[in-house]
Amino acid sequence: MDEVVAAGPEVGAQELGDVGVVLEAEDPGGGREAAREGTGTAGLGHRRYLLPAVGNARVLVIDNYDSFVYNLVQYLGELGAEPLVHRHDELTLEQIVALEPDAVLVSPGPGRPEDAGLSNDVILRFTGSVPVLGVCLGHQCLGQVYGGDVVRAPAVMHGKTSLVHHDGRGIFAGLPNPFEATRYHSLVVTPESVPEELEVSARTDDGIVMGLRHREHPTTEGVQFHPESILTASGHDLIANWLSHVAPVG
């Protein structure tokens, strides 16, 4: 294994041996959540992550320039996946397809779905081929690419928690119902605009759409809340449920 610039706070390169996964990602700004969590280094401009991985399922993470993306990356690594992180304007769709990912996660980020670069095209391209998960902005992209309306939310939610009621299927299988989840968003997919291709899988007490699932390809899902937040009670289990649909590799 090559040089490791950063490792998790309790896991070193020698401890992991051959089961470690080195993840490289550009980080010009440096001050991401991952550095504060001990999974990266701040201010280096380029990061290397050593994540504990017991499998080799390659999960493409589309980074929409969000501070939460490396928390999601950490979850994926802890659950045995090999995350491949690329920003939404870094590669062409052809280059992304050539990576042959086993699953795709579209991250949170600022702005609207139309500001999310290749995120929308990636969702359309990989739905039906591999599991796809959209988080926050990624969820809104899923809703919009199939014809849903993304509008201003009744209230801006910034680090606030809500109870999420769900249908108990897919990524929500076996999770408490409801469970508490953290929200950071000012936009929502309106329930009345959800297209035929999608179904609402989760809502808040006041009816805000918190989850979407593709009807024909149910391993494509989206969540408006942040499963990677420490205040989301069942976030780790939700990601594990999603990864359980990834076809065995190797």
Q: Which residues are catalytic?
A: 136, 226, 228
Cα separation of 150 and 222, whole Å?
A: 14
* Long-range contacts of residues 207-213, Cβ cutoff 8 Å, at least 24 apart: 208/153, 208/154, 208/162, 209/143, 210/162, 210/164, 210/166, 210/181, 211/139, 211/164, 211/166, 211/171, 211/172, 212/134, 212/139, 212/142, 212/143, 212/148, 213/169, 213/170
**Three-class secondary structure of residue 124 per DSSP:** helix
Q: Rounded to 5 degrees, what are φ and ψ at 99?
A: -70, -20
Return the structure tokens found at 154: 């009744």
* Long-range contacts of residues 158-163, Cβ cutoff 8 Å, at least 24 apart: 158/184, 159/183, 159/184, 161/231, 161/232, 162/204, 162/205, 162/208, 162/210, 162/225, 163/204, 163/205
- In Å, what is the CA distance from 158 to each residue of 128, 143, 162, 226? 33, 21, 11, 11
205: left (phi over 0), alpha (psi -120 to 50) or beta: alpha
